[in-house]
Amino acid sequence: MPISRLLDRGTETATFYAVEEQRDDRGNRVLVPVGPGVEHRVTVAEAPRAKAETHGQLTYELLRITLRASAATSSWDVLRLRGSWWELHEPPVNAVGLHHTGHQSLVIRKAPVAFVEGVE
């Protein structure tokens, strides 16, 4: 049986971070990336975008990434990819498969600027 190597040929590296709930100076609940990130090689593909139809709506830039290991542990996790912060747009999809074909697929969107204020 041929072994799929597609998952191991990711050309980009994404760093995944868990988040922690904190309070800002105004008492609002904010989620902040914590701890050292975990790097994974990922395969990146463009995902269908949510385009704004009227003035005042947002257009999301969406990417679909596939990786061998399960990196996202919750829907609140964030990652650093292509020099920008990203967050999950949909819950992660784990494909169990065989030993060589199991993978995780994520649809991500750029995190709002306010989310990354003061974090680098």
Confidence category of residue 2, pLDDT binned at 50, 70, 90:
very low
In a domain, 15, yes or no: yes
**pLDDT value at position 1?**
38
91 inside domain: yes
Neighbours of 111 (CB within 10 A): 19
Establish if 59 belongs to a structural domain: yes
Domain that holds residue 81: 6-116
Average pLDDT over residues 105-118: 72
Q: What is the mean pLDDT of the chain?
A: 76
CATH number at residue 56: 2.40.10.270
Q: How confident is the model at residue 3, as a pLDDT?
A: 43
Cβ(49)–Cβ(61) under 8 Å? yes
Does the pLDDT at position 113 exceed 70?
no
Residue 51 domain flag:
yes
pTM: 0.73
The alpha carbon dihedral of 118, 22, 59, 109 has a sign of positive
Residue 36 included in any domain: yes
pLDDT digits (tens, 9 = 90+) for 6-40: 555 678 888 888 888 888 888 888 888 887 888 88
Domain count, the chain: 1
In a domain? residue 1: no
Checking if the pLDDT of 75 tops 80, the result is no
Please report, rounded to a whole number, the percentage of residues in the chain having pLDDT higher than 90.
0
